Structure 1
Amino acid sequence: MDFSLSPALQELQLRVRRFIADEVIPLENDPRQTAHGPTEDLRNELVAKARAAGLLTPHASREMGGLGLSHVEKAVVFEEAGYSTLGPTALNIHAPDEGNIHLMEAVASDAQKDRWLRPLVQGKTRSCFAMTEPPPGAGADPSMLATTAVRDGDEYVIDGVKWFITGAEGASFAIIMAKMEDGSATMFLSDMDRPGIEHVRTMNALDSCFTGGHGVLRFNQLRVPATDVLGELGKGFRYAQVRLAPARLTHCMRWLGQARRAHDVALAHARSRQAFGRTLGEHEGVSFMLADNEIDLQTARLHIWHTAWLLDQGERCNFESSRAKVACSEAEWRVVDRSVQILGGQGVTHETIVARIFSDMRAFRVYDGPSEVHRFSMGKKIVAGRGDASVKPGEQR
């Protein structure tokens, strides 16, 4: 792997960095932010700015109107966008839309792309991904899927309840995971205004960075035409891996930008704040925390870049993406936690952006699989001889 960045990628990195600094960060204290994320009005303004700058939805293919970024290129751009709490929203690379765009480019039909994907890439609509269910349904264990889809002529009838559905309120359409009569799983596309979809409520959560918050959805005799099956019948779990392995990594990329921002705020404070006759940064206890932050930031970045590089080589990277998800979510969390400590009173108030990053990031160790589930999955593969160390270059994991 070559860690150098091409001149074109360096130029794009700088463009994004300037855009975030000049156009996005000034809106971080805009009153159109709520406990459930930026309002649709604020999102539209941010998207318009990114569109004018030629930076909207850069991960989408050029055919769809994006920049067609590779995974390594996404790692660089997404980190820069993540430097602001509003950056991923502005560039239209936030969850769940980013992962849904990647999935639909891979498996949607041409008609489905024209109907749902193109407006999503253009930033005109939002989507949600309806998989997680309340107990006893699917959570970290997708095999517990309880939402059902039953064939009825040329339609499927879907019944079930989903929750923690990011972006549900205000989404134009949903990708719904449901269990078939034979026990397999299938993904369905549905407009959110169809009869049979009820947005029950928006859940209160630690984070406030996702437009539409996290919703509870009830499907009651929702009728979906057979033409709106996403991909092939019975391949829902396989498609979930197509979506989730890269999506785990893009979470790591965006949150790395947030962790770097928290560190920069703490570093500026440590350089200027006087205590006990010297600046905070001159005290060993604080300087050690700053050093540990740098170690964790670089460790996370290397996990991201390496896994992204493997994805660009065509590897599946289920093992590596799990490893990166655990390492990055925990390292980046440590960076933000130390930054709060360095800032002292300012760190636990909203005098700086760090308290907001702290609240938003805590859930990252749960999103897209808790650390414990990824460790369990990796451990089984290692014991079975299928871990990273036992695989030769070019072999599938």
Structure 2
Amino acid sequence: MEYHDSEKANAVAGRVASFMEEVVLPRERKALATGEPISDDEIEGLWDQAKDRDLFAPQVPEEYGGQGLDFRDMLPSFEQVGRSLIGALAIRANAPQEGNMHTLEMVGTEEQKEEWLRPLVQGEISSAFSMTEPMQGGGSDPKMLQTTAIRDGDEWVINGHKWWTTDGLDADFYLVMARTDLEAHPYEGTSIILVPADADGVNVVRNVPHLGGHAITERTGGHAEIKYENVRVPVENTVGAENEGFQVAQMRLGGGRLTHCMRYSGMTERALEIAKAYLSEREAFGTTLEDKQALRHRIADAETRLHAARTMCRHAARELDRSDARIEIAMAKLFTANVTNDSIDLALQCCGGNGIGKDLPLAHFYEHVRAFRIVDGADEVHRRTIARHAFEDVDETELENVLRFDEDRRIDALDE
């Protein structure tokens, strides 16, 4: 499909696609075939090659070592890297690093950018976003946030319990969401605070075991459970304005949801390509499977829905340049998450025993994609947001017509 992305976006995405086909996918296939994880040295070697091809950190301004693409122009490249389990990592566009870079670039001070953003972009350090909490803390309902940061002179004293802190095992610093004004509503009294991983009182409890947790790289990062116990950091570590953490988080998560959508769209496209190649070769009951109408129609439906998802993401990205695009992003994330889940499930089913085997990447895709209906906002949260918007502006004239129609029906019934 032709999506009329800009000339610059297509040029970079074309180079990314070549990098995936020539370098990244062959290395992924070898890792899947041998079971030997890809080493940190090899990942850094991929970074060097990405830099040589002017592909490294496409989402970051050039002054910090990236390629300086604007948001809409980088989406096609994110779709290409999504085709591989290590694609985003290979060009330093993987979550949560990409979102944390964006956050620091948007609202960080110059000192924060020099000390943390620049080395983060180059892969010299790693980061994590520490927001989600165990029951009964902040999760799908972020107003339930329990972690606090109490000001003591020129320091924050942080106490709280977090989990699902992605890449938290390897992180050199965390962006921690904490309530900083306990008298205010959480939306108006929460801040994001940069906490070095080696600060006293930062206790990584464990890596939370999870679906799709079998990485093909040595660099797993994990999803850490962390306790912050009287952690002291300077007030100057506040990222963005004090008590405006939710506004900053929304800016981070809005774009992050779309980049996730595009990465998973790329994964879905590759899954369908694998399925179609298999169906064209596999013979059963007298013909190849691609000649079976039921499978052909299911593939057609999957292709149609994937096209719709990719179009929705581009529309939401365009609107994000004009406004917060909250509803457009919610719709795109909800729809894409379900399309990618359904399509990868179909691709695995089409490949039968080869689908559930791990010589192909489909089983890995299947394990990874299920979480997408929960991370970055569960389906139910996005439906709630969309529904609330749908009922905000009920047309009063239409409401009167409905009420009048109901009244007329009652009168007619009495007459009968």
Task: Give TM class, smaller chain.
Answer: over 0.9
Q: Compare the two structures and name the one with the higher helix fraction.
A: 2
SS in 2 for 1:190: strand
Partner residue in 2 for 1:282 = 291
Q: TM-score, normalised by structure 2?
A: 0.88
Q: Deviations over 1:79-121 (max 9, x none)?
A: 0111111001111111111111111111100000001011111
Q: Does 1:311 align with 2:312?
A: no
Cα offset, 1:166, TM superposition: 0.4
Residues 45/182 of structure 1: CA separation in 2 closer, same or farther (3 Å cut): farther
Q: Is the 8 A contact 2:32 2:360 kept in 1?
A: no
Matched residues in 1 for 2:53 and 2:106: separation?
A: 27
Partner residue in 2 for 1:269 = 278
Cα offset, 1:39, TM superposition: 5.7
Q: Does 1:341 align with 2:349?
A: yes
Q: Is the 8 A contact 1:32 1:38 kept in 2?
A: no
Cα offset, 1:311, TM superposition: 1.7
Matched residues in 2 for 1:238 and 1:53: separation?
A: 36
Identical-pair percentage: 36
Structure 1 residues 371-390: aligned runs within 5 Å: 371-385=379-393
Segments of structure 2 that go 5 or more residues without pairing to the other structure are: 396-416
Among residues 365, 371, 385, which one is paired with 1:363 in the alignment?
371
Q: Does 1:195 align with 2:203?
A: no
Cα offset, 1:32, TM superposition: 10
Cα offset, 1:4, TM superposition: 1.7
Aligned partner letter, 2:91? L
Matched residues in 1 for 2:257 and 2:371: separation?
A: 13
Q: CA RMSD in A?
A: 2.1
SS in 2 for 1:63: helix
Aligned partner letter, 1:289? R
Q: Deviations over 1:141-162 (max 9, x none)?
A: 1100001111111101001110
Aligned partner letter, 1:145? L
Partner residue in 2 for 1:157 = 157
Q: Is the 8 A contact 2:265 2:340 kept in 1?
A: yes
Q: Is the 8 A contact 1:32 1:42 kept in 2?
A: no
Residues 331/284 of structure 1: CA separation in 2 closer, same or farther (3 Å cut): same
Among residues 311, 320, 330, which one is paired with 2:338 in the alignment?
330
Matched residues in 1 for 2:248 and 2:88: separation?
A: 24
Question: Which shifted more, 56-65 or 202-211?
Answer: 202-211
Residues 61/316 of structure 1: CA separation in 2 closer, same or farther (3 Å cut): same
Matched residues in 2 for 1:369 and 1:223: separation?
A: 30
Matched residues in 1 for 2:3 and 2:53: separation?
A: 27
Residues 131/182 of structure 1: CA separation in 2 closer, same or farther (3 Å cut): same
Partner residue in 2 for 1:166 = 166
SS in 1 for 2:63: coil
Partner residue in 1 for 2:148 = 148
Q: Is the 8 A contact 2:174 2:195 kept in 1?
A: yes
Q: Does 1:221 align with 2:226?
A: no
Determine which structure has more spread, i.e. the larger CA radius of gyration: 2
Aligned partner letter, 2:221? G
Aligned partner letter, 1:364? F
Cα offset, 1:237, TM superposition: 0.9
Partner residue in 2 for 1:56 = 56
Q: TM-score, normalised by structure 1?
A: 0.92
SS in 2 for 1:58: coil
Matched residues in 1 for 2:152 and 2:47: separation?
A: 40
Partner residue in 1 for 2:262 = 253
Matched residues in 1 for 2:97 and 2:312: separation?
A: 23
Matched residues in 2 for 1:4 and 1:102: separation?
A: 25
Q: Deviations over 1:227-265 (max 9, x none)?
A: 111111110111111111111111101000100110010
Question: Which shifted more, 149-158 or 208-217?
Answer: 208-217
Residues 38/32 of structure 1: CA separation in 2 closer, same or farther (3 Å cut): farther
Partner residue in 1 for 2:178 = 178
Matched residues in 2 for 1:156 and 1:38: separation?
A: 39
Residues 295/96 of structure 1: CA separation in 2 closer, same or farther (3 Å cut): same
Q: Deviations over 1:180-201 (max 9, x none)?
A: 2334111101211111111110
Structure 1 residues 231-246: aligned runs within 5 Å: 231-246=240-255
Size of the alignment, in residue pairs?
384
Partner residue in 1 for 2:89 = 89
Aligned partner letter, 1:351? D
Matched residues in 2 for 1:121 and 1:255: separation?
A: 22
